[in-house]
Amino acid sequence: MAPSRCIRVHERDNVAIVVDPEGARSGAEFSGGLTAREHIPQSHKIAISTIERGSPVLRYGQIIGRANRAIPAGSWVREEMLDLPAAPALEQLALATNVPAPLPPLEGRTFQGFRNADGSVGTKNILGITTTVQCVAPTVDYAVRRLKTEVLPRYPNVDDIVAITHTYGCGIAIEAPGAAIPIRTLKHISLHPNVAGQPLVVSLGCEKLQPQRLFANALPVLEDSNLIRLQDQRGFAETVAALMRAAERQLEFLNRRERRMCPASELVVGLQCGGSDAFSGVTCNPAVGYAADLLVRAGATVLFSEVTEVRDAVHLLTPRAVNERVALDLIREMRWYDDYLAKGQADRSANPTPGNKRGGLANVVEKALGSIAKAGSTALMAVAGHGERVTAKGLVFAATPASDFICGTQQLASMNLHIFTTGEGSPYGLALVPVVKVSSRTALAEKWPDLIDIDAGRVATGDCTLEEAGREIFEFVLDVASGRKKTWADHWGLHNALAPFNPGPVT
């Protein structure tokens, strides 16, 4: 009988991840003489050597917890056997002490994008109808349904019409410090490169988030012909007719746009994980990390995010910051979030989900160490606050919560393409940008062949290398950004609602 298989990431590790889809049965033998003492499910941890009580449990060469009992070799190492270590102290981190040397540039890589007047580049050609308040969302949705069936077919170069709706805009303490975050997020999403930076704007009239406040220093977008105030209109039917007339003018403009060759450096790719398992950190996340390095080498911007999944690995990132300023910016974002969680009487241990744990992740430390593999190996060039638009090139930390739909919404302030890794599976997608989904396990890709775009589980089974999976992701990104290939989320029209992060009070 062939030996059971497990993956050890780092030579210091005293646990490994069981690979076989049916898990390791009790008595199963691994190469090297290790024997399972009990049934261990796939993607869960086996002790490679005996771990004494109080000793560190090591994965990725890092401490993911301390054993609160003796764990004999061959045991299933479960969540309750580990005590969560303290998060790295923010006062004692090494700043820019180990800055990676630049990798050789990748010249000549291009994609077919839509060049905008402001220099940004779109990966889709969308009519965006933005809103200042949730009150107007059903009216806009009604008009968009009619526009898509009655009008859009006459404009074949336009990919879609998207209502940029959300739950923000009124009933909020708009002068509170926290309000700046959702407001700038919505501003940057409204001016997204994929809507040519020129949305229609629908306001109710009496809301707190007045159009002038939303667009602040980007007021030219508020020409009279682009702005409709519902309280200035007569009746529903006439309101919808006015909206459709304005939309048609914009469609005529958008329909004249064409894809042109653009350097890959115009890509702003947002990375995030959702429904992670213990494989995520050895398959899909490092494969995406390899693709991230290729994108950085091609001059592009790569965003990684999710503060609570970076917090416990921050000591591995501050040395990679390109200078002390950037390292301190990263620490600033970690501290802001520590304070935010403390106000809610929570801490980062609130992060892992039941699905993460079912997938073999013991705690947030193990999750974070796997999560940051997405960030590849290049220097950290800049840090952006929640909802800020990123202008730097290279690897950038853009602060967001880890919640999938909130992180995706926040990254939309900057990104024109999204890569989403998943172990447990999520049909997640966004209307404004293509979302490329990468699975951590082949079993998920086989169960969801019409939802998962790329199967990185082949890395665990030895069917491809991390580098091969990373190159495949990179090439797929260029194809999708060019409109040559479609993600499954776009094929089915799976588009999650926008959920701007609002840390401020609701009145």
Q: Residue 249 to residues 225, 226, 267, 270: CA-CA distances in angstroms? A: 9, 9, 28, 32
Tokens of 446: 């086989």
CB atoms within 10 A of CB 330: 24
Nearer to Ca ion, 285 or 442 (CB): 285
Q: C-beta of 90: minimal distance to Ca ion in Å?
A: 22
The only residue of 130, 190, 226, 272 in contact with Ca ion, by rule CB under 5 A? 272
- Two structure tokens written together for 28: 């199963």
Question: Closest separation between CB of residue 273 and Ca ion, Å?
Answer: 5
Residue 274 near Ca ion by CB under 5 A: yes
CA angle 130, 133, 136 (to 5 degrees): 75
Contact assessment for residue 399 and residue 200, using Cβ atoms and an 8 Å cutoff: no
Report the residue number, 13 or 404, with the smaller CB distance to Ca ion.
Answer: 404
Q: Which is nearer to Ca ion, 19 or 368 (CB)?
A: 368
Q: Does 404 bind Ca ion (CB under 5 A)?
A: yes
* Site mask for Ca ion (CB under 5 A), range 350-389, x = bound: ----------------------------------------
- What is the number of other CB atoms lying within 10 angstroms of the CB of residue 438? 29
Of residues 406-435, which lie at the interface with Ca ion (CB under 5 A)?
Answer: 407
Rg (CA), the chain: 24
Would you say 74 or 274 has its CB closer to Ca ion? Answer: 274
Q: Which two tokens stand for residue 483?
A: 């409109």
Q: Does 281 contact Ca ion by CB under 5 A?
A: no
Query: With CB under 5 A as the contact rule, which of the stretches 105-113, 195-203, 273-281, 392-400 interacts with Ca ion?
Result: 273-281
The nearer residue to Ca ion, 374 or 458, going by C-beta atoms, is: 374
Cβ-based nearer residue to Ca ion, 272 or 442: 272
- Rounded to whole angstroms, the Cα distance separating 482 from 138 reads 32
Give the sign of the dihedral formed by CA 73, CA 439, CA 379, CA 351.
negative
In the complex, minimum distance from the CB of residue 3 to Ca ion, in angstroms, rounded to a whole number: 35
Q: Where are the beta strands (DSSP E) in 116-190?
A: 121-122, 126-131, 160-164
What is the C-alpha separation between 45 and 38, in angstroms, rounded? 12
Closer residue to Ca ion, CB minimum distance, 130 or 305: 305
**Residue with smaller CB distance to Ca ion, 272 or 363:** 272
Rounded distance, CA 8 to CA 350, Å? 27
Least CB distance to Ca ion at residue 476 (A)? 20
DSSP output for 25-51: -TT-BBTTS-B-SS-B-TT-EEESS-B
Task: Single out the segment in contact with Ca ion by CB under 5 A; choices: 200-208, 269-277, 285-293, 350-358.
Answer: 269-277
Task: Verify binding: residue 211, Ca ion, rule CB under 5 A.
Answer: no
User: Which is nearer to Ca ion, 228 or 419 (by Cβ)?
Assistant: 419
- Please select the residue that binds Ca ion; options are 40, 402, 415, 478, rule is CB under 5 A: 402
- How far is Cα of residue 394 from the mean position of the Cα atoms in its chain? 16
Least Å from the CB of residue 402 to Ca ion: 5
Q: Is 74 in the site for Ca ion (CB under 5 A)?
A: no
Query: Which whole-number Å values give the CA distances from 478 to 144, 229, 296, 371, 471, in the listed order?
Result: 29, 39, 13, 23, 11
Burial (0-12, 13-18, 19+ Cβ within 10 Å), 41: middle
Nearer residue to Ca ion within complex by CB, 405 or 448: 405
Place of tokens 């965003």: 303
Least Å distance between CB 307 and Ca ion? 11
Applying CB under 5 A, the span of 114-122, 268-276, 325-333, 447-455 interacting with Ca ion comes to: 268-276
Which residue carries 């890569």 as its tokens?
419
Shortest distance, CB of residue 333 to Ca ion, whole angstroms? 16
Footprint of Ca ion on residues 13-72 (CB under 5 A)? none
Which helix (H) or strand (E) is 442 found in, with range? helix 442-447
Q: Which is nearer to Ca ion, 132 or 409 (CB)?
A: 409
DSSP run (H or E) holding 491: helix 488-492
Q: Smallest gap, in angstroms, from Cβ of residue 54 to Ca ion?
A: 33
Which range, of 64-72, 89-97, 128-136, 267-275, touches Ca ion by CB under 5 A?
267-275
CB 423 within 8 A of CB 284: yes
Number of residues that bind Ca ion (CB under 5 A): 5
> Amino acid letter at 111?
F
Q: How far is the CB of 401 from Ca ion (least distance, A)?
A: 8
Strand locations in 318-407 (E): 380-384, 394-398
Interacting stretch for Ca ion, rule CB under 5 A, among 112-120, 217-225, 264-272, 295-303?
264-272
Which residues in this chain contact Ca ion in the complex, by CB under 5 A? 272, 274, 402, 404, 407
